Chains A and B, each alone.
Chain A
Amino acid sequence: MKFRMLAAAALILASSGHAQADIGPAEKPDLKLGFIKLTDMAPLAIAWEQGFFMDEGLFVELESQANWKVLLDGVITGTLDGAHMLAGQPLGASIGYGTQADIITAFSMDLNGNGITVSNDVWEEMRPHIEDNSEGNPAHPISAAALKPVIEQYRDDGERFRMGMVFPVSTHNYELRYWLAAGGLNPGFYAPQRGDTSGNIDADVHLSVTPPPQMPATMEAGTIQGYCVGEPWNQQAVFKGIGVPVITDYEIWPNNPEKVFGVTEAWAEKYPNTHLRLLRALIRAAHWLDENDNANREQAVKILARSSYVGADEDVIANSMTGTFEYEKGDVRDVPDFNVFFRHFATYPYPSDAIWYLSQMRRWGQIPEPKSDDWYMETAAKVYRADIYNEAARTLIEDGTLKAEDFPDLDAENFTRPHQGELIDGVDFTPRQPNAYIDSFDIGLKGSQTP
C-alpha cells in the first residue's frame, strides 16, 4: 500500500508539476512541523502519508510536541517551521498575551472536535439533574446547570472543583468557560495587568492547564474532576472507564472554528512560496479527509493510530473520527459533523473566527482593558491571512486539483463563517460589532470593566 503511494508520489514528482506553474520552487524545501497528539492534526499526517507535501517539493518532518507552550516556543524560536496550533495562539501571541510574537495563520485546520468530560463520581451526582430522552438516555445537550449542585456540594465541603483545559488561549478554555457560564457558573477572570494569569478570580470552577494527552491520567489521579479537550482524549476516558463526556463542542456552538496552522509572520514573508505550497498540501489533505462523505476516514484512523502520530488505539480514534461519539459506555450517538476538516469551507480562515476568540479573551479578562471595534477588525485581519489562503486556493482551482465550488467565492469579502449554528446560551454572535457582542453576556467583563 505504502509503496504504491510513494510510487504515485514519484510519478507526480516526475511530471514536475503543472500544478506548480504559478508558484516558484519552495525556498525552504526541508521543513519541520510540530503537532500535538490530537485527531485534529490529521491534515498534517494525511498530507504526509498521501504524498501531498512531496507533490509540492516539500520534505516535511512531523514532530509531536509535549504541550502547547513547547510547540509555540518551537515556532517562535525557529526550531519548528510551523505547527498545528490552537486558534487562540496566533491571536494571543500577536496581541502579547503570554509570549509576544507575530504569528499568523492562513489555514483553519478543522471545525468542532472537542468535548467536555467529567469523572465518573461527578457524573453520578450530575445524572439525577439531567432529564431523560425518549430512550431513557440523558437528554442532550446537557447544561452546566446540572453541575451546579455538585459544585455547591464541593464548596460546602471546603473543596475546590477543578477542571482541566489545555492552554490559557485554547479553544477548550473558551468553550469550557462558555458552557459553564451558560449554565450560570463563573469560570473566573484573568487579570494580566496585575500579573494574575491563573484565571481563577471569583471562580466557581477552578480551571487549570494540563497537556491534552495527560488529561485522562490527571483526572484518574483526582487532580481534576473534569476537562475539556480534543479527541481522542474524551473517548479515551470512556474506553478506560474513568469518566463520561457530557457535551461536545458541536452542541455548544455548531461548527465552531478549532485548530489552525500557524507560522511566524517573518517566516511567511521570508518563504512565501514554501508557505503557499504548504497550504496547497494541507488543503488537499483536508479535502481528502472529507471527500466522498468521509469515505477515507477509516484509512485516516489507521494512519492516526500509528505511534508517531496520535498513537491511541484505533477503536478509540475511530469513535469520533467516523461520525459517532460515545458518551456513557454504550451510549453511542451520531455526530456526523463532530470532526469537520473540509466541509462547510472549514479550511478558510474567516476573520469572524478571530473576532470570536478575541471577544472571549476580553470577556474573561485576558484583554484587561476595553478595545475599539476597529482594533478587533485590525487584529483579525493581521493574524487571519485569508489573502494568502486565497492565493493558494486559486492555484488549486487553476490546475484542476480542486473545484471552485470547494471554496467560498474567493472574490467576495468572506468575513463571517457560514454554516454556523446558534450558540448554546442563545446569545447572537455579531462579529461586526465585537463590543456589543461582549456586552451581551450575563457573566463576563463588559464595557470598560477591568478584572
Chain B
Amino acid sequence: MTTLSQTDSLSQSQRWLQALTEKLSARNLAEASRQLLLPAIGILLFVGFWHLAAPQVQTSLGAFPGPADVMEQSGQLWQEHSNQRDRAAQFVTMQEERNERILSENPEAEVKIRDYPGAPTFFDQIFTSLGTVLAGFVLATVIAVPLGILIGLNRHFSAAVNPLIQIFKPVSPLAWLPLVTMVVSATYVSDDPMFAKSFLTSMITVTLCSLWPTLINTSVGVSAVNPDLLNVSKVLQLSFWTHVRKVVLPSSVPMIFTGLRVSLGIAWMVLIAAEMLAQSPGLGKFVWDEFQNGSSQSLSRIMVAVLAIGFIGFLLDRIMLLVQKKVAWNE
C-alpha cells in the first residue's frame, strides 16, 4: 500500500517535472514573454514617462502628481477607509449597548441598529458606483433584450421603432440627467423610500444611455437567425414561446453579448459623468469633490480615482467576457 502510494507520488512528481520542463522550453518561454513581458515593459515605460513628465506640468495646486504621489494617496485613502470602518464598528457596538440598556428597562421598546452616518470613503464610493452601474445595466438589459427580440422578430414593429432608436441612441447622459432628476423627484414620492432618489436618477440615466447597443445587437441577432433553423422550428411546430426560448434566443446570444459588453462599457462611463454632474454618491462625486477641495493632495487623489475607474472598467469587461464564454455556444 505504502509503496504503491510512493510510486504514485513519484510518478506524479515526475509528471510535474516533465510539465515544468515543457513549460520552460524555448517556445513556451517565448510565448510567455509575449504574453507577460511585453505588457509589463509597456506599463513600465508608461510609468517612467509619467514619472518624468509629471513634475514638468505645473498647476496652481502644485505639480501634476507622479506615480509616487498617487501611490501615497491611495495608501492614504485606504487608511481613511479603515479608520472610518473602525468608527463604524464602534458606532454599532455603542448602539448595541444602548439598545440592551433600553431593553433591560423596557422590554417592549422598539430598538434598531442604524448604519454609521459618516461620510462615504473612496472605497464606499467605489461600491456605490458599482452597485448603481450594475442596477442600471441590469435594468437596461431587462428592457433591451425583450424589446430587441420583438424588433428582430417583427419587421413592421422594427420599421416603426427604428427612427426612435436612431434619434435617442446618440443622446449624451448629461442631456438626460436634468429631465430624469426632475421626473424622479416628481414621481417617486414616498415617506419611506426603498431607494435614494440620487440612486434612481443615476441608475435611470445609465439605463437610458446604455440600453441601445444591447437593443440594436439583440434585434440584429434575432433577425439574423439561420433560416434553416427557423424552418426546423416550423417543422417542429414550436409554439411562439418555445421558438423564442429554444431557437431565437440561444441563436442570438453571441450578438446579444457583444451588445451587452458595449453597453456595460457605456454604462460605466455614463455613470461617472452622471455622478459628477448630479452629485449623486459614487466615484464621479468623489472626483468632483476632490476637484472642489482644491487641496494640495486633490490632484493625486483624483488620479487615484482615474486609475481606479479605468481598472474597474477593464475588470467589468473581463467579467462580461467570462460570462459570455460560459453562456454563448460559439465561444
Tell me the residues in window 49-87 of chain A with beta carbons closer than 8 Å to chain B beta carbons. 59-66, 70, 73, 77-79
Nearest A-chain residue to B102, judged by Cβ: A16
Please indicate the chain A residues that have their CB under 8 angstroms from the CB of B185 in the complex: 73, 77-79
Interface: A24 (CB within 8 A): no
Q: Are A77 and B197 in contact (CB under 8 A)?
A: yes
Q: A1-42 vs B: 1/0 string, CB under 8 Å?
A: 011001101100110100000000000011000000100000
Tell me the residues in window 196-228 of chain A with beta carbons closer than 8 Å to chain B beta carbons. 211, 213-214, 216-217, 220
CA distance A59 to B296 in the complex (A): 32
Tell me the residues in window 267-321 of chain B with beta carbons closer than 8 Å to chain A beta carbons. 277-279, 281, 288-296, 298, 301
Given A30-B114, A62-B119, A66-B288, answer yes or no on A307-B295 (Cβ-Cβ < 8 Å): yes
Q: Are B60 and A312 in contact (CB under 8 A)?
A: no
Interface: B87 (CB within 8 A): yes
Q: Are B293 and A6 in contact (CB under 8 A)?
A: no
Please indicate the chain B residues that have their CB under 8 angstroms from the CB of A16 in the complex: 102
Given A10-B97, A66-B277, A70-B279, answer yes or no on A313-B295 (Cβ-Cβ < 8 Å): yes
Q: Are A240 and B60 in contact (CB under 8 A)?
A: yes
CA distance A2 to B118 in the complex (A): 12
Nearest A-chain residue to B60, judged by Cβ: A240
Q: Indicate which residue in B90, B101, B281 contacts A6 across the interface (CB closer than 8 Å).
A: B90
| Shortest beta-carbon distance from A336 to chain B in Å | 26
Interface: B176 (CB within 8 A): no
Q: Are A307 and B114 in contact (CB under 8 A)?
A: no
Cβ-Cβ contact count across A and B, 8 Å cutoff: 98
Interface: A236 (CB within 8 A): yes
Interface size of A by CB at 8 A reads 45
Q: Are B298 and A59 in contact (CB under 8 A)?
A: no
| Shortest beta-carbon distance from A308 to chain B in Å | 3
CA distance A237 to B323 in the complex (A): 51
Nearest B-chain residue to A36, judged by Cβ: B292
Interface: B117 (CB within 8 A): yes
Interface: B30 (CB within 8 A): no
CA distance A211 to B289 in the complex (A): 12
Q: Are B60 and A241 in contact (CB under 8 A)?
A: yes
Please indicate the chain A residues that have their CB under 8 angstroms from the CB of B277 in the complex: 66
CA distance A64 to B291 in the complex (A): 13
Q: A159-176 vs B: 1/0 string, CB under 8 Å?
A: 000000000000000000
Interface: B94 (CB within 8 A): yes
Q: Are B290 and A307 in contact (CB under 8 A)?
A: yes
| Shortest beta-carbon distance from B181 to chain A in Å | 8
Nearest A-chain residue to B298, judged by Cβ: A311
Q: Are B294 and A216 in contact (CB under 8 A)?
A: yes
Interface: B123 (CB within 8 A): no
Q: Are B294 and A59 in contact (CB under 8 A)?
A: no
CA distance A311 to B61 in the complex (A): 13
Please indicate the chain B residues that have their CB under 8 angstroms from the CB of A64 in the complex: 279, 289, 292
Interface: B98 (CB within 8 A): yes
CA distance A311 to B296 in the complex (A): 10
CA distance A64 to B275 in the complex (A): 13
Nearest A-chain residue to B61, judged by Cβ: A240
Interface centre among B102, B114, B117 (most CB of A within 10 A): B117
Nearest B-chain residue to A65, judged by Cβ: B279
Please indicate the chain A residues that have their CB under 8 angstroms from the CB of B128 in the complex: none
Q: B237-281 vs A: 1/0 string, CB under 8 Å?
A: 000000000000000000000000000000000000000011101
Interface: A397 (CB within 8 A): no
Nearest B-chain residue to A270, judged by Cβ: B191
| Shortest beta-carbon distance from B51 to chain A in Å | 24
Q: Are A13 and B94 in contact (CB under 8 A)?
A: yes
Interface: B74 (CB within 8 A): no
Interface: A310 (CB within 8 A): yes
| Shortest beta-carbon distance from B193 to chain A in Å | 9
Interface: A377 (CB within 8 A): no
Interface centre among B119, B278, B288, B293 (most CB of A within 10 A): B293
Q: Are A310 and B293 in contact (CB under 8 A)?
A: yes
Interface centre among B98, B181, B292 (most CB of A within 10 A): B292
Please indicate the chain A residues that have their CB under 8 angstroms from the CB of B198 in the complex: 79
Please indicate the chain A residues that have their CB under 8 angstroms from the CB of B197 in the complex: 77-79
CA distance A307 to B87 in the complex (A): 17
Interface: A145 (CB within 8 A): no
Q: Are A311 and B290 in contact (CB under 8 A)?
A: yes
Please indicate the chain A residues that have their CB under 8 angstroms from the CB of B278 in the complex: 66, 70
Q: A215-254 vs B: 1/0 string, CB under 8 Å?
A: 0110010000000000000001000111000000000000
Q: Are B98 and A10 in contact (CB under 8 A)?
A: yes
Please indicate the chain A residues that have their CB under 8 angstroms from the CB of B196 in the complex: 79
Please indicate the chain A residues that have their CB under 8 angstroms from the CB of B301 in the complex: 307
Nearest A-chain residue to B289, judged by Cβ: A64
Q: Are A307 and B293 in contact (CB under 8 A)?
A: yes
Q: Are A311 and B279 in contact (CB under 8 A)?
A: no
Q: Indicate which residue in A14, A62, A79, A312 contacts B293 across the interface (CB closer than 8 Å).
A: A312
Interface: A305 (CB within 8 A): yes
CA distance A2 to B197 in the complex (A): 31
Nearest A-chain residue to B87, judged by Cβ: A2
CA distance A242 to B120 in the complex (A): 32
Q: Are B292 and A214 in contact (CB under 8 A)?
A: yes
Q: Indicate which residue in B60, B83, B90, B294 contacts A213 across the interface (CB closer than 8 Å).
A: B294
Q: Indicate which residue in B97, B118, B295 contacts A311 across the interface (CB closer than 8 Å).
A: B295
Please indicate the chain B residues that have their CB under 8 angstroms from the CB of A242 in the complex: 60
Q: Indicate which residue in A30, A77, A305 contacts B295 across the interface (CB closer than 8 Å).
A: A305
In the complex, given contacts A216-B294, A308-B120, what are 19 additional A-B residue pairs having Cβ atoms less than 8 angstroms apart? A7-B94, A9-B94, A10-B97, A13-B94, A30-B114, A60-B117, A61-B118, A63-B281, A70-B278, A70-B279, A78-B185, A213-B291, A213-B293, A240-B60, A241-B60, A306-B119, A309-B119, A311-B293, A312-B294
For the complex of A and B, the 5 pairs showing the least CB-CB separation, nearest first, are A311-B293, A308-B119, A213-B292, A77-B185, A240-B60
List the interface of chain B (C-beta within 8 A of A): 60-61, 80, 83, 87, 90-91, 94, 97-98, 101-102, 114, 117-120, 181, 185, 189, 196-198, 277-279, 281, 288-296, 298, 301
5 contacts across the A-B interface (CB closer than 8 A): A14-B97, A307-B289, A308-B118, A308-B120, A311-B298
List the interface of chain A (C-beta within 8 A of B): 2-3, 6-7, 9-10, 13-14, 16, 29-30, 37, 59-66, 70, 73, 77-79, 211, 213-214, 216-217, 220, 236, 240-242, 305-313, 316
